[in-house]
Amino acid sequence: MHFDDLMCCRYHNGPYDANNWRVPLLAVGWLEHPHDYVRGETPPGLVDKLDELVAAAHESQRSYNFRGLHRCSHCDAANVDSGSLERSHVNLFVPGQGVVYIAPSGIRHYIHVHSYLPPSTFVEAVMRCTDYGSPAYFDSLRTVNNGDRPPIESAEDRRAYWQARKEAMQAEWLRAGFKVGSRSRQ
Ligand SMILES: [Zn+2]
């Protein structure tokens, strides 16, 4: 899939669709052969920082990750077998200044192997992004999103959802005459 850097992302529904955010959702690092891209040297620590964010996103936003793994079309075009890109089903939502960036985890490969240079505003946002997937991270997404709830579920949301489901189920059991927490019938 290809987007020019800083293009509005419109893909799928939910958090990948710019229409569901109050601020622009800007694509970064969606490289595909034969589209050209900017090359250059990235600041030290950027790839390590991206590694850290991808590992956290892999854990914290399972329901928003893509299903399949992605191959690098630049490697394919050069007849280099790089296999499937590691964790390429994971995508990063990075809060910026008045925008949210959406980047594929393959961006690490593009920087490392293909000398890709992402926009500096994105690099700054990545270096500032802490505790990806934490309540503080979701708060910063909400702040950037003009104070509105972002279209991506937080860990707290998911816990609240399951707690509500559990309580509804227990109420259901009580109505049906079962003792909650016990297998015996009243
Ligand atoms: Zn490649």
**pLDDT tens across the length of the chain (186 residues):** 889 999 887 777 788 888 889 999 999 999 999 999 999 999 999 999 999 999 999 888 776 777 677 889 999 999 998 887 878 788 999 999 999 999 999 999 999 999 999 999 999 999 999 889 888 898 899 999 999 888 887 666 767 777 888 888 888 888 888 876 655 444
The answer to whether residues 20 and 98 belong to one domain is: yes
Same domain, yes or no: 116 and 161: no
Report the pLDDT value the prediction gives residue 186, as an integer from 0 to 100: 44
For residues 133 and 185, membership in a common domain is answered with no
Q: How far is the CA of 74 from the centre of ligand 1 (A)?
A: 5
Q: What are phi and psi of 25, to 5 degrees?
A: -100, 110
Say whether both 25 and 45 belong to one domain. Answer: yes
Rounded Cα–Cα distance for residues 69 and 58 (Å): 13
Q: How far is the CA of 19 from the centre of ligand 1 (A)?
A: 31
Tokens, residue 26 = 């800007």
Kindly state whether residue 2 falls inside one of the protein's structural domains.
no
In a domain, 123, yes or no: yes
Beta bridge partners of 8: 26
Mean pLDDT of the chain: 87
Residue with tokens 């000398």: 115
Is 103 a member of any domain?
yes
> Does one domain contain both 57 and 124?
yes
Q: How far is the CA of 41 from the centre of ligand 1 (A)?
A: 17
SS3 156: helix
In the reported structure, the alpha carbon of residue 56 is separated from the centroid of ligand 1 by a whole-number distance in angstroms of 23
pLDDT, residue 180, reads 65
Q: What is this structure's pTM?
A: 0.82
Do residues 21 and 93 share a domain?
Answer: yes
* Residues 136 and 166 both lie in one domain: no
Per residue in 129-173, pLDDT (tens digit) is: 988 988 889 889 999 999 988 888 766 676 777 788 888 888 888
pLDDT of residue 181: 62
Residue 170 pLDDT: 87
Please tell me the predicted confidence (pLDDT) of residue 134.
86
Q: Are 106 and 178 within one domain?
A: no
Number of domains in the chain: 2
Residue 1 within a domain: no
Q: Using the mean position of ligand 1's atoms as its centre, give its distance from the Cα of residue 111 in Å.
A: 9
Q: How far is the CA of 84 from the centre of ligand 1 (A)?
A: 10
User: Tokens at residue 57, please?
Assistant: 């996103």
Tell me the CA–centroid distance for residue 15 and ligand 1, in Å. Answer: 26
| 12 and 26 fall within a common domain | yes
Determine the structural domain holding residue 93 and report its residue range.
7-153
Residues 135 and 157: their CA atoms lie apart, in Å, by 10
Query: Do 53 and 125 have their domain in common?
Result: yes
Judge if 89 and 181 occupy the same domain: no
So what's the pLDDT on residue 61? 77
SS3 track for 92-112: EEEECCCCEEEEECCHHHHHH
Contact assessment for residue 60 and residue 132, using Cβ atoms and an 8 Å cutoff: yes
In angstroms, the CA 108 to CA 87 distance is: 10
Residues lying with their CB under 5 A of ligand 1, a single-atom ion: 72, 74-75, 82, 113
Q: Is residue 99 part of a domain?
A: yes
